[in-house]
Amino acid sequence: MTEKIGFIGAGNMGQAIIKGLLKAGLYSEKNIIIYDVEPLMIQLKGELGVGTALSEADLVSQVDLTIIAVKPNMMKTVLSAIKTEVDETKVILSIAAGVTLATIAEELPAATKIMRVMPNTPALVGEGMSSLSINQYVTEEEQALAVTILSSLGKVELVQEYLIDAVVGVSGSAPAYVYLFIEALADGAVLAGLPRAQAYQFAAQTVLGSAKMVLESGKHPAELKDMVCSPGGTTIEAVHALETGQFRATVMNAVKAAAERNRELS
């Protein structure tokens, strides 16, 4: 574990990671340093007890591991501000969507250790799914540290960088499709007479529980689906209605569309 960890950008995702680290007890607040706009730094210093830096470069000079959690359009500004403080002992981890390891490397000294993470917003409630890609200078120990850090936000998988487009399709962008599904499930329940507040509760808990069944039972999703479908019953009737509407092909097209769009944007 590096002694101190720094965050350039402490907005939604930066704060989600900081809170995950504190909750998991991986770092104490005195070993977390942030740099963001002044009012936010004052607020987070008060709320979380974390330290603050004077500038992006000041932050990097104080830590071994820097997490950059600014919007992608701010990445060049940040990298240019920190480059004089970066050397082969520092690790730079970026969560900016669409900014490649090569793009980051171009702005920093040769042989800088760089990691790229694609998180998703359920990280805000500790159930995120993150991918981790690294360049050739990152050691196994540093990679293991990143996995530990990201595990405090949910689950993490190592992927080759070229697979990030697929990751965006299946997890980065996917919470939005799942929300559409939950909304549609609930609308269906309202149509069938259930009060709306209860409809969202039934729909969301059913999605959560079904996801847990996939993750924890080790069974193939098709096997779990078969277990619910009794012959001539209600569920197979609903599955037939979904298949008539090309449900699976539509979802596959959505994942493919997000992956292709990410490729265009990178």
Which region among 73-81, 196-204, 212-220, 236-244 touches ligand NAP (by CB under 6 A)? 73-81
Q: How far is the CB of 144 from ligand NAP (least distance, A)?
A: 22
Nearer to ligand NAP, 95 or 150 (CB): 95
Which region among 30-38, 131-139, 143-151, 215-223 touches ligand NAP (by CB under 6 A)? 30-38
Chain residue at closest Cβ approach to ligand NAP: 11
Which residues between 50 and 69 bind ligand NAP (CB under 6 A)?
56, 69
> H/E/C letters for each residue in the chain?
CCCCEEEECCCHHHHHHHHHHHHHCCCCHHHEEEECCHHHHHHHHHHHCCEECCCHHHHHHHCCEEEECCCHHHHHHHHHHHHHHCCCCCEEEECCCCCCHHHHHHHCCCCCEEEEEECCHHHHHCCEEEEEEECCCCCHHHHHHHHHHHHCCEEEEECCHHHHHHHHHHHHCHHHHHHHHHHHHHHHHHHCCCCHHHHHHHHHHHHHHHHHHHHHHCCCHHHHHHHHCCCCCHHHHHHHHHHHCCHHHHHHHHHHHHHHHHHHHC
Q: Is 69 annotated as a binding residue?
A: yes
Q: Does 254 bind ligand NAP (CB under 6 A)?
A: no
Which region among 35-43, 154-162, 178-186, 229-237 touches ligand NAP (by CB under 6 A)? 35-43
Q: Does 259 bind ligand NAP (CB under 6 A)?
A: no
Candidate list 91, 96, 129, 189; residue touching ligand NAP; CB under 6 A: 96
Nearer to ligand NAP, 37 or 238 (CB): 37
Nearer to ligand NAP, 54 or 111 (CB): 54
Q: Is 218 annotated as a binding residue?
A: no
Q: Does 71 bind ligand NAP (CB under 6 A)?
A: yes
Candidate list 22, 72, 143, 226; residue touching ligand NAP; CB under 6 A: 72
Q: In what order do the strands lie in the sheet with 65-68?
A: 51-52, 32-35, 5-8, 65-68, 91-94, 113-118, 128-134, 154-158
Residues making up the annotated binding site are: 8-13, 69-72
Positions at the binding site for NADP(+): 8-13, 69-72
Binding site for ligand NAP (CB under 6 A): 8-9, 11-14, 35-37, 40, 56, 69-72, 74, 77-78, 95-97, 118-121, 172
